[in-house]
Amino acid sequence: MVRRKAADNLAKFVKEMPVNVVIEEMIPLFDHLAKDDQDSVRLLSVEILIAIAEVIPKEQQSSHGILLSTLRSLIEDKSWRVRYMVADRFEKISKAVDEEVVARDLVPAFIKLLKDSEAECRSAIAGQIPGFCKLVERETLLNEIMPAVEELVTDTSQHVRAALGSQISGLAPILGKDETVNHLLPMFLTMLKDDFPDVRLNIISKLEQVNNVIGIEKLSSSLLPAIVTLANDKQWRVRLAIIEYVPLLASQLGVQFFDEKLSDLCMQWLGDTVFSIREASTQNLKKLTEVFGVEWSNGAIVPKVIKMGEHPNYLYRMTTLFAISVRQGS
């Protein structure tokens, strides 16, 4: 308990110490704590490492062998909890050390953590993907890191895939248009079909970043077929999941795209054979009105809904009443 408390507070002391004191006294203490028998102490030493690296000028770091050797030990620690802490702070570590250490030590460590045996570690390092990839050479990113990142698309853990889905769009500005099309879009297509809803949601919620890089036309031509396929899936729960994402997708891609590509699909759901789909589709129209405004709704949606009231199938007429009641309640 005493050593844990010391490790927990040493980083704070380091930030207040002169560089010479950090080098002469703090580094040996850090090294001692980083080799402690208890992993609960060793994992706290990661923050100390970051604090020391931020205090010592980068050009002097290579002369302090203990600092770098201890960093390597923490990265390969036998305890997944320590490796998790390293993974969770990977971008901060990378920014605190010089470029040579990043290229020589941290790139291989990053790839190794992407393939770690523990899902918690893979999830943590997935959250660091965009931040770390900004710091590496483009050739290294494409040839060494991207193949390991692509493997996470089919990871056995749904939480790892979800973590990847929340971060992968951040690579688009780094990769540029051509490499985003070549590398990221195939990953998106696969993840949009993932069984775990959080994976699909995380992809859809971050499409704006990709849109800013490759443009709406390329994005829609690549991903829209997959979205439409899911929207017509024979499993009603899959259709329901897509309906729930449409307002978010619409807000990401804009009103013109929605009117041209998705409006008819939303009206189609109003006549679905499954009640839950019809009910969700009326809520979907309400949310779309909140996204695009009442004026848009009056011109683009209301006439179509009213026309459904004349349909020979009673399900359509009932759905018209549902849609009107939802609109009045909004």
Residue-wise pLDDT tens digits, 192-208: 889 888 898 888 878 88
Higher pLDDT, 18 or 147: 147
64 closest CA partner among 75, 53, 54? 53
d(CA 51, CA 151): 33
Residue intervals of the chain classified under CATH 1.25.10.10 are 80-215, 223-330
What's the CATH fold of domain 223-330? Leucine-rich Repeat Variant (1.25.10)
- Output the average pLDDT for the chain: 86
Query: What are the pLDDT digits (tens) for 262-303?
Result: 888 888 888 888 888 888 888 888 888 888 998 888 888 788
d(CA 122, CA 125): 5
* Architecture field, domain 80-215: Alpha Horseshoe (1.25)
**Do 15 and 3 touch, CB atoms closer than 8 A?**
no
In this prediction, residue 1 has a pLDDT band, given cuts at 50, 70 and 90, of: low
d(CA 97, CA 177): 30
Q: What DSSP string describes 225-249? A: HHHHHHHT-SSHHHHHHHHHHHHHH
| Amino acid present at 298 | N
